[in-house]
Amino acid sequence: MYTRSPDYLYCRNGIYYFTRNVPSDLKSRFNKNRVVVSLHTRSISRAQKSATALSDRLDRYFESLRLERFHSQELGLSFSPLVTPAITQPDATISEALNIYIRLKGIGRGSVFVSTARRNISYLTECIGDLMLSEIKPTDAGKFRDHLIARGLSASSVKRVMASVKAIYNLGAKELGVTHPNPFTSVFIPDDGLASRRLPVPIDVIRSIQTECFKVDDENLLRQL
């Protein structure tokens, strides 16, 4: 049960609360239409003193808002809604990812490792430019594959270049926190038929070599045959 008094007070379960409506001309500035504050007392005299002080503070605050609105209108000003700043996602260029890859993976690998990585990325930037990692799409990866084939690289060479570029992308993205999926994953590379199966040496060729070995008495070569 609760009871009201004319001093912006009401009592609920023995505790006094201050309550006052927000003026109608200021309701648009707030998220509720009534102010309710517990005064944490069971004493009516203390509650009345606290309520009087709160009411005076509210009067001054409401009046300041009215004056602010008046001066704003007089000067032709208005409040703009708060603009939430866009969250910038981490990103890096292909070249930056290459530098990270060489710095972390190139330790003790020698100059061939570094030159190979640089050459493979140069193929990529030659094809699509030095894009940001998040800007590279699977269609760009397919375009890169076609670019390598047009340069005359065999299917096996294209696969090696693709594997290298994929590893460079993965490490750069992981180190920089780029969550964009790796576009070089599962790129189809057609077989060009250039790879040939190693054929066995014909028996007559082996016998001919054995005969020559007997002539020169090459015991070590005979053991290998």
Regarding pTM above 0.85, the answer is no
SS (H, E, C) 132-179: EHHHCCHHHHHHHHHHHHHCCCCHHHHHHHHHHHHHHHHHHHHHHCCC
Return d(Cα 177, Cα 88) in angstroms, integer: 12
Query: Over its length of 225 residues, how does the chain's per-residue pLDDT go in tens digits?
Result: 444 455 688 888 888 888 999 898 888 888 888 888 888 999 999 989 998 999 999 999 989 988 888 777 767 766 555 556 666 778 889 999 999 999 999 998 889 999 999 999 999 999 999 999 999 999 999 999 999 999 999 999 999 999 999 999 999 999 988 888 999 998 999 887 655 555 677 777 777 777 776 665 555 554 555
Instruction: Give the domain ranges of the chain.
Output: 2-74, 94-176, 198-225
